[in-house]
Amino acid sequence: MLPGHPLGRKAFNDQLTRPGIHARPARTAALIALVAELPPPVPAELLDVHIHIALKWAHHAQRDWSAYPTARITDRDGGG
């Protein structure tokens, strides 16, 4: 806890937990909201998590991204 230095993960979590703020549920909700808006491969790459994790988040968000690969190919080839 030196001035000008960031807190470590545990110290930061401890400071949030003391007044009753629990970060994990909010983090999980934010991740599920992210995959509700983006196909799972995008957040997987952006957040550097395994694609299977992003697919689990997408399952929780109940989004079906099965048309995404075809849309990417169509966009890349200039089709509409």
Instruction: Give residue 51's domain range.
Output: 9-76
First to last CA, the chain: 55
Q: Is residue 61 one of the residues assigned to a domain? A: yes
Contact between residue 41 and residue 51 where contact means Cβ atoms under 8 Å apart:
yes
Q: Is residue 66 one of the residues assigned to a domain? A: yes
Contact between residue 75 and residue 47 where contact means Cβ atoms under 8 Å apart:
no
CA distance 32 to 30: 5
Q: Looking at the predicted structure, is the pLDDT value of residue 80 above 60?
A: no
pLDDT per residue as tens digits for the range 19-49: 998 888 888 888 888 888 888 889 899 989 8
Q: Is residue 30 one of the residues assigned to a domain? A: yes
Q: What is the domain count for the chain?
A: 1
Q: Is 38 left (phi over 0), alpha (psi -120 to 50) or beta?
A: beta
Give one DSSP letter per residue of 22-40, joined into a string. -HHHHHHHHHHHHHHHS-T
Q: Is residue 69 one of the residues assigned to a domain? A: yes
Q: Is residue 49 one of the residues assigned to a domain? A: yes
Q: Is residue 4 one of the residues assigned to a domain? A: no
Q: Looking at the predicted structure, is the pLDDT value of residue 65 above 60?
A: yes
Q: pTM to 2 decimals?
A: 0.51
